[in-house]
Amino acid sequence: MSEHELPELPYDYDALEPHISEQVVRWHHDTHHQGYVDGLNGAEETLADNRESGDHSSTQSALRSVSHNGSGHYLHTLFWENMHPDGGGEPDGALADRIEEEFGSYDAWKAEFKEAAGWSAGGWALLVYDTVSKSLRNLAVQKHNDGALWSAHPIFAVDVWEHSYYHDYGPDRGDFVDNVFEVVNWDEVAENYDKVVSTYE
C-alpha cells in the first residue's frame, strides 16, 4: 500500500486573488489538507499493524479515521482542481445541457447548490453524478462524509468549513461561495462529468 501525498496546487498560492487570498490558500492547502493526508496515512498504518498482529483494539477508530481523513483528502484535491485563475463564467457543452435538462436552467441549479453550501459551516457543497439514478445531484455534506450518497461521484466541490473563508470574508459564507464561482474551472468539472458518464451510461 503506497503512502498518500499532498498534491501540489495547480497554480501559485496567490493566483486566486482577490477571490481567495494567498494566506488562506497557504493555510488551507499546506496545513489543513496536509493534516488529512497525514491522518489517512496514520490510520492505514494502524490497520496494517492490527491485521498483522491480530490485535484489533484500535481498529474501529482507525476505520472511522480512514473515512474522515480519506474523504477530506479526496475532496480537498477536487476543490483545488475545480478552480483556476482564468475560471468563472458558466459551463458549456454536455455538462451545461445536462444541468439545464435536470435542473431547468443553470441559474436554478446554482440557486440549489448555494443552498447546499449554506447548510453547514463544517462541510461541503457538492455537485455529484449519482450512478444508480444516472443523474446529477447537489449534496450538502457535513464534515467530509456525513450526508454523502453511496454510488455518487463528486465532480464539483466547494469547501464551506470556516477555515476556507473566514479570514477573507468573516461570517459571510455566501460572499465566499459567490467568489468561488468567479474562479470555477468549468473545463475540469466537465472533464470529471465526461469521465463518470462514459463509465456508467
Binding-site residues from annotation for Mn(2+):
28, 76, 159, 163
Residues marked as binding? 28, 76, 159, 163
Measured between alpha carbons, how far is 75 from 69 in angstroms, rounded to an integer? 10
Instruction: Specify the 3-state DSSP secondary structure of 86.
Output: coil
Measured between alpha carbons, how far is 61 from 175 in angstroms, rounded to an integer? 37
Nearest Cα to 153, choosing from 87, 69, 75?
75
Burial 141-158 (b: 16+ CB within 10 A, else e): bebbbebbbeebbbbbbb
DSSP assignment of 120-159, as one string?
A: -SSEEEEEEEETTTTEEEEEEEETTTBT--TTEEEEEEEE
Assess contact for 182 and 88: CB atoms under 8 A: yes
Measured between alpha carbons, how far is 151 from 28 in angstroms, rounded to an integer? 28
Q: What is the DSSP letter of 7?
A: P
